[in-house]
Chain A
Amino acid sequence: MRSSVLRIFSFLFILFLAGVASFPLTTAVAKVYIDITSPAFRRLPVAVQEFAGPMGKEMSEIVRDDLDFTGLFSQIDERAHVESPSQPFNPKNWTPLGAEIVVKGIVKEGKELVVNVSCYDVFEGREMFRKEYRAERNLVRPLAHSIANDVYFSITGEQGIFRSRIAFVAEEKGEKRLLIADWDGHRVTDTGLRAHILISPRWSQDGSKIVYAAEKNRQWGIYVLDFPNMKAERVFASQGTNIAADFTPNGEQLIFSSSKEGTPDLYSLNLKTSVLKKMTSSYGIDVSPAVSPDGTLIAFVSDRGGTPQIYVMRSDGTDTRRVTFDGTYNTSPCWSPKGDKIAFSGRRGTNQIFIVNPDGSGLTQLTTEGNNEDPSFSPDGRYIVFSSDRDGRKGVYVMRANGENQKRITPRNLKAYAPRWSPR
């Protein structure tokens, strides 16, 4: 009797909670200027005014470049600006130019950079936000990217990716190094990691680690680079080829390809317990596992059907389905952050970047020039980084996820490839 009363009580209590949850607690909903999920949007005219004060020009240019790359905005030509940077915002100065959003900033000289930024809605004559940023002088680029992130968020309601970074492999004199650059290719940092052969860097979902494969003394090993303490540790090695590891979302396991039992098959390695489990057994090649963002699926490459193609299986190794059927050479799969797309490199005479839905529908080719490989999505899924030899030497390129605005971000004289976009 008593337990049934308790059960009724808990049922009603859940109903009560559900009622509270469905009731809008905050009535003020932020205005969204561009619905970036809508297929047909108009480019929003934005005026990022040259910031007043030292390094103001450089900073406002970085903010402009970030916003430009998104393809969501059109910039009002700076020469047309009527209002001077030091004058207060007046909507009457901007309406005739067609500007709908105005960004103004003032940089103060001092031991460090202090920047006060305001973002205005011209139609409503209203300030959208104001904020003070402080940074050491050498961090002018990250500071400007942070401003771009805030402007982007106040307009679209989505987090920007302008402070994310890209890891890639660079080759010089037969030696390979792991480098990390800002998303726009600036501020290249050398991790110090070098090897005879170093391939397939992949970030953990929290951004604190990169896993990669390296060959030393005729043996392939899987290594994990830990960022806070900058230690690289070998977590697996055996006879045969051990390559292309990817983290599970919680960072506790690695999925990789090993030929230790004869042919390249997929294995999972628990980093805490060191328990190794075999996940696939095929006569041919199974390689390049990519764990879906929610951890439920693994995309990989297999030649079990005669040619290398993309397959998807559940993370326990069951329920394997083939995804690609067009072409005879489809490799290097990677997931979009929402898990609704797989990007890969498909050979059509030359290697090109494609995207496809995980069920095999919606195949779209994004590149046409040169050989394009190693796609990796930005953390918001709106951009793809990849490597290309279209200008001769292999380099790292970024583009929008629909293939627009492809541009090289690494120096022309540097052979660079295997890029991976960091989490936020």
Chain B
Amino acid sequence: MKKIILFLCLVAVWGVFGCAKRQVTQQLQPGGQQQEAVRDTSVADKRGEIKPEERITEQQLAKVETKEEPARFKEERGLFDDIYFDFDKYDIKPEAKPVLKDIAAWLLKNPAARLSIEGHCDERGTNEYNLALGDRRAKSARDFLIALGVASNRIEIVSYGEEKPQCTEQTEECWAKNRRAHFVVLR
């Protein structure tokens, strides 16, 4: 066993130094000779590399079937005013507080109703960040209602970001109308 290992060691040592030596000799070859060799191959190589034939194919993709899901709730809109936010902000402004107080009072009088708060943004931001921002706007409104005594399990939120604008012109008035939380009663 030991003999075999010793033999393999010798082979390995030979391999290392053998290779190194060959490399050195090649580097020492005079430049002229090497150039000659290159020119030779290029002449012999007049006909180029013949690449293997290629068949161009493409997978024929079927179309995805998109199923429509039935709505979970009957939606009631227009019961409450929207509340508005400043650009890239999600704190509740003083003028929004009376609206939220009315909503809280209504929910406490109608204990069977559930509320969905939609968060919306203007189009100036980017889509993904706007969805996160709309989420925070809806959450600010939700937190305010919970603070006024509404049970948290009665309020769900959904963000629509800039995907459902109220107004589509590119003006500050229009953008301001789109930065909103919208309230939908679910029954």
Contacts and interface: CB of A to CB of B under 8 A. Distances in A.
Contacts of A351: 124, 126
Given A9-B5, A13-B8, A230-B61, A130 B139 contact: no
Q: Chain B contact residues: over half helix, strand or loop, or mixed?
A: mixed
Contacts of B135: 240-241, 259, 264, 285
Interface stretch (A74-82, A135-143, A335-343): A135-143
A220 B159 contact: yes
Nearest to B52: A131
A347 interface: yes
B13 interface: yes
B12 A9 contact: yes
How big is chain B's contact interface, by range? 35 or more
B136 A284 contact: yes
A288 interface: yes
B22 interface: yes
Interface residues of A, number: 87
Interface stretch (B40-48, B77-85, B92-100, B105-113): B40-48
Given A23-B22, A195-B66, A216-B69, A129 B50 contact: yes
A9 B136 contact: no
A255 B91 CA distance: 28
A12 interface: yes
Interface string A346-383: 01000100000000000000000001011000000000
A374 B50 contact: no
B73 to A, nearest CB: 8
Nearest to B41: A28
Contact of A15 (B16, B131, B133, B156): B16
Interface of A: 2, 5-6, 8-9, 12-13, 15-16, 19-20, 22-23, 28, 118-120, 124-136, 139, 142-143, 146, 150, 189-195, 197, 199-200, 215-220, 225, 227-228, 230-232, 239-241, 243-244, 257, 259, 262-264, 284-288, 301, 307-308, 328-329, 331-332, 345, 347, 351, 371, 373-374, 417-418
